[in-house]
A and B are shown apart, each in its own frame.
Chain A
């Protein structure tokens, strides 16, 4: 363990912070705070990508770090904030399962992902391969958030946080995806959020609420 270089320790630290932020997003009761936490997660992801970029010297990683900062730490949170303001969403998050139970399920998910990731990460030669388990856990926690939340907007935050987890896995375990793929995903996410924003307005106009449970009773007639 003493041989672990400083930069791998830094990546591990940032990965742990991202996991911590995922948990605080699960525990968060207010929508605005949730978006701020998401922005913070994006910023931590930017830092960890930057550390990988500096240490491997791959120029495209600088680009993806910059993209992460611009998109996930600034633009997307700003769009979400604007949506919350315009839609006048109630500030309370309404979970389907109460928060302590969600956290307990979260811990179980973390254990599962750590165990699942272990044999995979041993195949990787990257120095910070331990973070693969964390990245998987972040993805699972984001899934959990999407499943247990009632409001459309929190589900979108969950979706974006899942993308964060995938990105973390890509940068730390394999030193980044090809530039084209990264650009593609980043644009996808951006466009996705914008389209979902339009959807929110449609949903609200139709049901006077953002509760997606109304959509279970949709019928053609």
Chain B
């Protein structure tokens, strides 16, 4: 039976994700501005943007099919589901059995599929261009992400995220070299998936370089708000996934309500540090050419495979 406490924890985790995701984006933007000697936008700017967009009317292109209107909702729903099944505060999530780590990759893939279809639906050249590039990035990033998850799943002997976090957070102390490889590969993949600098620039509308922005050029009003919010949620979900896989200490155990409360400041701290690091890495790297992206993600894939091999050689047989 699902306990009331677990249900509260689940709802709380989702509400927290909804509330915190734009804050994380704002925090990253602020750090980026500081590091680049610009005056920073307010921390709450993403909320103002969302508020503004939700109050504007939607302008639809002439050729828009219903798919174009549904896609933002599907994308938002996918990201919300992802935030619901990634253990951020507690491992006791009633939603967690709905999807394990592999299905999570599928959920991200579903969101990508629909937003790309919607971008092509309108028939503008930018939309199609963005969708193609997004598919290229996605098709290279997904296998790397899967192998990272396999590596971690081999340590925990389970693909369920809750079990993985429980194994990693409450084990006796051990150094896993394979996790180091997987961690670096995961960093690469999350930069690609979240349209951050070495692969895509979230702040540009420069036609030659944009990927994510090119796909959503035709959106406006509440649709755009949902997409922006979903992008924030995606960043939040990836950050939480990274924390859950590689720095799980402090995530609350089952049936421990106090730990849930104690996990909140710790999560905020980890997200704060993560956002800062993200901004630093983005600032010290230049955006790579689109044809260098396969190389970037190929490296991520190779690192992930190396992690898996090291896991097999050093940790299983030793």
Contact = CB atoms under 8 A, between A and B. Distances in A.
A144 to B, nearest CB: 13
Interface string B284-318: 00000000001100110011011001101111111
A134 to B, nearest CB: 7
Contact of A13 (B175, B299, B305, B318): B175
B295 A130 contact: no
Nearest to A122: B317
Interface string A98-111: 01100110110011
Q: Interface SS of chain B: helix, strand, loop or mixed?
A: helix
B192 to A, nearest CB: 15
A131 interface: yes
Interface in A74-125: 99-100, 103-104, 106-107, 110-111, 114, 118
A12 B305 CA distance: 17
A152 B99 CA distance: 53
Interface in A10-33: 10, 12-13, 15-17, 19-20, 23, 27
Most buried by B among A13, A17, A27: A13
Interface in B170-198: 172, 174-175, 177-178, 180-181, 184
Contacts of A27: 299
Interface stretch (A1-9, A52-60, A212-220): A1-9
Q: Interface SS of chain A: helix, strand, loop or mixed?
A: helix
Nearest to A14: B177
Interface residues of A, number: 32
A133 interface: yes
Chain B residues touching A, range: 20 to 34
A134 B180 CA distance: 15
A103 B303 CA distance: 10
23 contacts: A4-B318, A8-B318, A9-B174, A12-B177, A13-B175, A13-B177, A16-B177, A16-B180, A20-B181, A20-B306, A23-B302, A23-B303, A99-B295, A100-B294, A100-B298, A114-B312, A114-B313, A118-B317, A128-B318, A130-B314, A130-B318, A131-B314, A134-B310
